[in-house]
Structure 1
């Protein structure tokens, strides 16, 4: 690093310490490393400092100090994002502001079926505390043991329960946000019906920290589903999986909480990550569905699952299947879905997509995209899986084993262009649930209609005219070089 830059860095760090408490400011390179490396370890950056506030007032003070010093802020939750939205890309002029110390559950109201929780609370811990009150928060992600509720809200996270409960946005009742000028917006209402004009909380949900820093969230809770039926099913095709979903949506109604499709390769990949994982089905089928229905009270979920599967197997829509007989068996079935991701990671760098298309076109999209990848990159392997009920498919591409880092990067770049080209013909989205961040910014901007760009730019300039909040994330706004 050049001497003048180093002098500036030292001066900025000293100014931050003077404005805030030493306890809040990390500047040691080793201590900052975990905040400046992405979830998969593909990208490592740095920062002027890492700020770790303990309260909303601390966050407000940090924002005011950074604004006065001309330093921009990259807000960070559990750092489990997949699009580099919380990783600095201008280390000499950015700080990471981590919410990890703000993890309190401020209130759980059993009568109101609501809770108020600080942004740094880990999702799985929040779910466990709520379950103790015999209630349920339905957001369910592979990273729930590490991700924070504030990050979930800021990225509008999806997960496996979207088809029944919706994206995170539909589970949020109110927000507390520190704005770019350091003022605090307190909108922590738990009202279900509040029609007093524009719903301001929606501005910050999915904004990835570009308009302010979410410090607390009031969330919607549900009755705890004490009856859960989980089944792994073998089918003849992805097209049959779509037909099966239509039947399940009709016959199981809103009690269906998950409906995931997986290819045969999923089992190979999962067992590469978890070698002793027992195979639940003896046969080998072209497509698999992991289905779950759940409920509470007087509904007999086990009977519903058995009757439904009996009818679809009699009709030949499902060839084979197994219903979990215990929670442990259900967990093993879900380990195939989760372990598949670990298995892909073990094979090295690969292209990860997060695509959504209209549900009735999902099977055609997978067929066309996989064929296009096969023609353009015959030595690569396509792995398509995802959430049938909401049209979200993760079509990943694995470079051949033994590829050098440069070779893998070149194939990943080409595969992304191939898949996006197919997607453009399907009226789909390049980001179903992961967000835009920095990783998908160029692809997002390339497809952005002028009217939408104008609205986003006007919104950013109105709320954050100093461009202090997460510059370079989502869009390159005017005034950011």
Structure 2
């Protein structure tokens, strides 16, 4: 019996997709990578995942785990050989338990993130991971890439929200580490090893996640600022004034919001005048455990002092939930408006907050020197130092001309990131897109340690090959 027949016998033919039925799983969300596969399989539970992986190991077939297929670096797309088996975890979407005394929930990897937020909310709890793709991304993919999102400032990345994992190893064994413990010093932290490994060490099939009390009140404000240094200065003021209540601090250039309001004219800024009247904008969110009145009082006190000192040029505080949603909608529409404008060159970088202003100024200048007319569409999570430092072509330039310069722009931006002690991947992962870049910027000792871990856990090299690390023969 060949591998395809064995998979059909194991799962049932309807859950082993080939040909046109498999096509949608073989191209990434951005349409950048398209691969080929022996089959796409859709197991129903962890036991079936383990059995599939074991069969693949016996036949020497590569395995590519896939969640919602919303990644931005090609991490869930197979190569072109047609040998790989894509394991789609979409059927594994059960919430196994919700424990409000322990403030945890145990969920399967195929659960849609937005659904988990709703499950937590129905239990009067908060699951704080939140990002633009939450309506389609899965928690398994979030774990595989250690996703960040808009509330990292207060709650941390996905790794920080995870207490335990269930993982299928490259040999088809199951590690059950679904302990909902906040203290467990009994050896190496395997959980942290698997989170962020992009499916190259094993397949995460379930997780025990942290829950939090629901905030009594939330306040949202949109600020207008003259410069990135002013934004950084106000962030320090906000941290001192709000403490742990400060849950979000998003930075957006005027160029970002100009794209949004031009492509989506129904969206408006809550200020008089044009978008370009101010160079930068910041979106803040404050969560309060007391009351709406208390939250607003704190907001007004901190903002009032910043306005008096000239640190903030203008501010609008949301009066109700609809206004808050409208402010967040401006921020969340930036990637969509960029897509409407045309293909662009995306960077997901992190920089020490104290150096962000200098990084932006220096890199903007370098780009104009080497690629005159390109547009910087810079936005991101200033509170945790994560910028989406995107580059759009000059107005009217055809997409092929923009993309032809992609490698050179990547190198210029990433060289600058490295010079400012930053990281070339903050929350999107490495995947295929940044795999070879990693060799340029990662410490050789770190890379060697990563290769040794990969070799120890996956000696056949079958788990999501070609992602994160170069194959042994390429090093």
Give yes or no for TM over 0.5: yes
Of 18, 36, 39, 2:26 maps to 36
Of 282, 307, 315, 1:313 maps to 307
Kept in 2, the 8 Å contact 1:231–1:322? The answer is yes
Whole-angstrom CA distance in 2 between matches of 1:264 and 1:101: 42
Once structures 1 and 2 are overlaid, which stretch shifts more, 179-188 or 397-406?
397-406
The C-alpha deviation readout for 1:431-472, integer Å capped at 9, x for no partner, is 011110110001112222221122111111111111110000
Kept in 2, the 8 Å contact 1:266–1:336? The answer is no
Q: How does 1:418-437 map to 2 (within 5 A)?
A: 418-437=412-431
Kept in 2, the 8 Å contact 1:234–1:287? The answer is yes
Kept in 1, the 8 Å contact 2:32–2:74? The answer is no
Of 94, 114, 124, 2:104 maps to 114
Superposed displacement of residue 405, structure 1: 4.6
Whole-angstrom CA distance in 1 between matches of 2:313 and 2:262: 26
The equivalent residue for 1:263 is 253
Whole-angstrom CA distance in 1 between matches of 2:463 and 2:280: 44
Q: How does 1:282-297 map to 2 (within 5 A)?
A: 282-283=272-273, 284-297=277-290
SS for the counterpart of 2:221 is: strand
Of 2, 7, 21, 2:12 maps to 21
The equivalent residue for 1:389 is 383
The C-alpha deviation readout for 1:112-132, integer Å capped at 9, x for no partner, is 100000000000110011101
Kept in 2, the 8 Å contact 1:467–1:480? The answer is no
The C-alpha deviation readout for 1:273-329, integer Å capped at 9, x for no partner, is 422112211142111111111122468212111111111112221111100111111
Whole-angstrom CA distance in 1 between matches of 2:156 and 2:133: 18
Kept in 2, the 8 Å contact 1:347–1:401? The answer is no
Superposed displacement of residue 199, structure 1: 1.4
Whole-angstrom CA distance in 1 between matches of 2:335 and 2:228: 20
The C-alpha deviation readout for 1:66-93, integer Å capped at 9, x for no partner, is 1112210111111111110001123411
SS for the counterpart of 1:177 is: strand
Superposed displacement of residue 403, structure 1: 4.0
The C-alpha deviation readout for 1:151-194, integer Å capped at 9, x for no partner, is 11111001111111111111000000000000100000001111
The equivalent residue for 1:325 is 319
The C-alpha deviation readout for 1:346-369, integer Å capped at 9, x for no partner, is 122110001111110000001111
Superposed displacement of residue 394, structure 1: 1.1
Superposed displacement of residue 46, structure 1: 2.4
Kept in 2, the 8 Å contact 1:467–1:479? The answer is no
Kept in 2, the 8 Å contact 1:19–1:65? The answer is no
The equivalent residue for 1:459 is 453
TM-score normalized with structure 1 length: 0.95
Matched, 1:77 2:67: yes
SS for the counterpart of 1:47 is: coil
Superposed displacement of residue 411, structure 1: 2.1
Structure 2 gaps, min length 5: none
Once structures 1 and 2 are overlaid, which stretch shifts more, 143-152 or 41-50?
41-50
TM-score normalized with structure 2 length: 0.96
Matched, 1:357 2:347: no
Whole-angstrom CA distance in 1 between matches of 2:102 and 2:290: 18
Of 336, 339, 356, 1:342 maps to 336
Alignment RMSD = 1.7
Matched, 1:368 2:370: no
Whole-angstrom CA distance in 1 between matches of 2:15 and 2:460: 23
The equivalent residue for 1:102 is 92
Whole-angstrom CA distance in 2 between matches of 1:129 and 1:453: 39
The equivalent residue for 1:406 is 400
Instruction: Rate the CA distance shift 1:309–1:405 in 2: closer, same or farther, 3 A.
Output: closer
SS for the counterpart of 1:428 is: coil
SS for the counterpart of 1:153 is: helix
Kept in 2, the 8 Å contact 1:232–1:322? The answer is yes
Instruction: Rate the CA distance shift 1:312–1:402 in 2: closer, same or farther, 3 A.
Output: closer
Structure 1 gaps, min length 5: 1-9
Of 237, 242, 257, 1:247 maps to 237
Instruction: Rate the CA distance shift 1:479–1:58 in 2: closer, same or farther, 3 A.
Output: farther
SS for the counterpart of 1:54 is: coil
Kept in 1, the 8 Å contact 2:200–2:464? The answer is yes
Kept in 1, the 8 Å contact 2:342–2:399? The answer is no
Instruction: Rate the CA distance shift 1:480–1:24 in 2: closer, same or farther, 3 A.
Output: farther
The equivalent residue for 1:88 is 78
Superposed displacement of residue 41, structure 1: 2.1
